Amino acid sequence: MIVPETAEKIKRMEIRGAGRIARAAAEALRDGALASRAPTNEAFRLEMEHAASLLLATRPTAVSLPNAVHMVMAGIEKPLTLEEVRAGIVTRADEFIRSSQHAVEQIAGFGSRHIRDGDTIMTHCNSEAALSCIIAAHREGKEIEVFATEVRPRNQGLVTIRTLNDAGIKTNFIVDSAVRSFIHDVDLVVVGADAVTVNGAVVNKIGTSQVAHAAVEARVNVMVAAETYKFAPRTTLGELIEIEERPGSEVLPDAIAKDLKNVTVRNPAFDVTPAEYIDLIVTEKGAIPPQMAYVIIRDYLGWDIGEFGAALGTGALNGA
Ligand code: RI2
């Protein structure tokens, strides 16, 4: 079945990036619903709920995943026929995929307005939303240059420099620890987000808070590109965003680690950048100061979203 396969790919990071993960989950639920041979309404719902929890259990941090799953699964408990429930899932999944892609295009338009001709931009990790702003600015004819980090341990920076190279954008590739050395050559930091909390903090790839910290110190503006479905309604109720810690073998090969009995590898995949370090969050609804995250959650997501996410994650970090 489609769902376990997709779940496995998300877990192994063959499918990665908060937006792509969300779209892949919606697609898997849709294809799972279409392929299901469940004989009764009840059996179908149970199967779909199981599929949803499989997807939710893959990676805990990117809120786009529970938000997408919730949007697709919304209302399946209503008294409808099996075919109506199936059709609802298919329609909502297609709608989510379409609007998610459209959101990235809109973010590109809004975000590029904040990039000036002659700007040097620093980016960290590989964010579709952040890159869309940079590429749009380049296509508008602005002369720009980029500093892109390596992004240990999974090297997402390689994907970023390839994309920038193919777009014809002059790019400098640096190791993560060189950020502060180059920040004075930079006019603007542009990064993506895996989650935005109600207090405007941004959860993104590990190292983002260091980049933002260096930028604040150097008085360089920090812009975050994030679709509204990356905002986390449940943080309003005090829920914390769980920071995924991935296997130590991603950082240090087991063959070496096994001889180092006193060494523990710590490998958190994300960190939290407080709202005070961020100048602007560009969403598909427009650019907002991080302090307005509450409004996005209230007006575009609603409080009940994320019910499926409620089962997720304990010990976490929320905001500053
Ligand atoms: P888009 C990624 O997570 C990065 O942290 C990136 O900044 C973020 O998702 C948002 O990416 P990972 O899957 O949705 O590489 O903007 O751990 O593409």
Residue 176 CA to residue 205 CA, distance in Å, equals: 12
Order of all β-strands in the sheet with 280-283: 170-174, 145-149, 120-123, 188-191, 221-225, 280-283, 286-288
Mutate to test the pocket of ligand 1, among 204, 206, 245 (most ligand atoms within 8 A of CB): 204
Ligand 1 centroid–CA 270 distance in Å is 10
Q: Report which of 203, 153, 143, 199 is spatially closest to residue 176, judged by C-alpha positions.
A: 153
Mean pLDDT value of segment 213-240: 95
Give the pLDDT band of residue 237 (cuts 50, 70, 90): confident
Residue 15 confidence (pLDDT) above 80: yes
- What pLDDT is attached to residue 63? 96
Least confident of 70-84, 123-137, 261-275: 70-84
Q: Report which of 190, 210, 58 is spatially closest to residue 128, judged by C-alpha positions.
A: 190
- What pLDDT is attached to residue 316? 31
DSSP code at position 280: E
Residue 308 confidence (pLDDT) above 80: no
Give the pLDDT band of residue 304 (cuts 50, 70, 90): low
Q: Higher confidence at residue 4 or residue 315?
A: 4
202 touches 177 (CB < 8 A) = no
Nearest CA to ligand 1 atom 1: 127
Least confident of 5-9, 39-43, 307-311: 307-311
Ligand 1 centroid–CA 34 distance in Å is 29
Mean pLDDT value of segment 226-230: 97
**Mean pLDDT in the chain?**
94
Give the pLDDT band of residue 240 (cuts 50, 70, 90): very high
Residue 251 confidence (pLDDT) above 50: yes
pTM (2 d.p.): 0.93
- What pLDDT is attached to residue 77? 87
Atom of ligand 1 at shortest distance to CA of 230?
14
Atom of ligand 1 at shortest distance to CA of 269?
17
Ligand 1 centroid–CA 16 distance in Å is 7
Ligand 1 centroid–CA 105 distance in Å is 16
Q: Report which of 299, 144, 129 is spatially closest to residue 205, judged by C-alpha positions.
A: 129
Residue 315 confidence (pLDDT) above 60: no
**50, two tokens:** 């199981």
Ligand 1 centroid–CA 285 distance in Å is 20
Residue 173 confidence (pLDDT) above 60: yes
Residues with CB under 6 A from ligand 1: 16-19, 125, 127-130, 156, 191-194, 204-205, 269
Mean pLDDT value of segment 216-236: 96
- What pLDDT is attached to residue 113? 98
Atom of ligand 1 at shortest distance to CA of 191?
7
Atom of ligand 1 at shortest distance to CA of 244?
17
Nearest CA to ligand 1 atom 5: 205
Least confident of 38-47, 53-62, 299-308: 299-308
For residues 155, 156, 160 and 163, what is the CA-based torsion angle, rounded to 10 degrees? Answer: 100
Nearest CA to ligand 1 atom 9: 17
Percent pLDDT > 70 in the chain is 94
Mean pLDDT value of segment 232-250: 94
Give the pLDDT band of residue 305 (cuts 50, 70, 90): low
Q: Report which of 178, 168, 172, 287 is spatially closest to residue 226, judged by C-alpha positions.
A: 287
Mean pLDDT value of segment 90-114: 98
- What pLDDT is attached to residue 203? 98
Q: What is the pLDDT of residues 21-37, one digit of tens each?
A: 999 999 999 999 999 99
User: Which residues are part of the catalytic machinery?
Assistant: 125, 194
Residue 1 confidence (pLDDT) above 60: no
